[in-house]
Amino acid sequence: MDIQLASHKIGMQFKVLVVEDNLEISRNIAEYFESQGLILDFAYDGRQGVDLALQHYYDCIILDIMLPELDGLAVCEILRAKANRHIPIIMLTARDALDDKLVGFNTGADDYLTKPFALEELFVRCLALAKRHLLNCEKTLQLGDISLNAQTQQVERAGQQISLQPIPLKILQLLMEHHPRPLSRSELSDKIWGDEPTDSDALRSHVYQLRKAIDKPFEKALIKTIHSVGLALDIA
């Protein structure tokens, strides 16, 4: 299996946040990673990196230590304290002393790469971190009377098995993973289709299919629309 194919095995879209104030390094990462089919967002200071990481879903974060506003160590500490999921983080730094690496790991970094580095190595490490994280995650999501096994793609509500097509299944998984935070329709589209967005009618159709499968056969509807915000699960 080549590297590009391996990236698509991890998820429908593999999305990376690069927090790096050196524009040349960011540009080089962008050119290589995007050529491999990945989707990237960029932050150029620590505070912007925290905001993006807490607002959006990323499979991996590439985090420089020396940053304006907040350094990478502070960013990592904040994300470990506030994020509602473990986001794999690989730190970049010009420091190569063991003590510096230990400090990075102690703040919650998953991996560490010293500058200068090969783009191919950074890419493979990002994929490995994301894949390892998924393998270590709890395979079954359970909220109230609904459960979803991400490995077998089996959904049950109140003991009743429910069959879902891939896109409605992905919508349900995203809503469960982010509960109780609502997801906007644009955010759902971004997580499902990435940089190849579809029209709003397609998303509306998939949401309708999901409601028909997990809401209509039961007394209480789980999917609620929050006006001007998006969709969320109504779990008592």
List, for residues 185-204, the tens digit of each pLDDT value: 888 888 787 766 666 688 89
Q: Are residues 159 and 204 in the same domain?
A: yes
For the segment 63-85, the average pLDDT, to the nearest whole number, is 88
Would you place residue 209 in the very low, low, confident or very high pLDDT band (cuts 50, 70, 90)? very high
Helix (H, G, I), strand (E, B) or coil at 178: helix
Distances from the Cα of 1 to the Cαs of 4, 36, 77, 95, in angstroms? 8, 13, 35, 34
Res 46: pLDDT: 94
Produce one character per residue of 40-66: b if its CB has 16 or more CB atoms within 10 Å, e if not: bebbbbbebbbebbeeebbbbbbbbbb
> Which CATH number do you get for residue 149?
1.10.10.10
Would you place residue 2 in the very low, low, confident or very high pLDDT band (cuts 50, 70, 90)? very low
What's the total number of domains in the chain?
Answer: 2
Q: Are residues 36 and 125 in the same domain?
A: yes
On average, the pLDDT of the chain sits at 84
Q: Are residues 120 and 163 in the same domain?
A: no
Q: Are residues 176 and 200 in the same domain?
A: yes
The two three-digit tokens of residue 76, written as one number: 């990592």
Res 4: pLDDT: 39
* Domain contains 4: no
For the segment 13-40, the average pLDDT, to the nearest whole number, is 91
* Domain contains 3: no
Show the domain range for 59. Answer: 15-136
Q: Give me the long-range contacts of 110-114 (CB less than 8 A, separation at least 24).
A: none
* Domain contains 77: yes
For the segment 215-231, the average pLDDT, to the nearest whole number, is 91
Q: Given 136, 153, 181, which residue is the final one in a domain?
A: 136
Q: Is the pLDDT of residue 127 over 60?
A: yes
* Domain contains 9: no
First to last CA, the chain: 44
Res 40: pLDDT: 93
Q: Are residues 121 and 152 in the same domain?
A: no
| Residues 59, 88: Cα–Cα separation, whole Å | 7
| Residues 104, 100: Cα–Cα separation, whole Å | 6
For the segment 166-171, the average pLDDT, to the nearest whole number, is 90
> Which CATH number do you get for residue 86?
3.40.50.2300
Q: Are strands 39-43 and 154-157 parallel, antiparallel or unpaired?
A: unpaired
Burial of 115 (0-12, 13-18, 19+ CB in 10 A): middle
Q: Are residues 152 and 127 in the same domain?
A: no
| Residues 84, 55: Cα–Cα separation, whole Å | 10
* Domain contains 75: yes
For the segment 151-175, the average pLDDT, to the nearest whole number, is 88
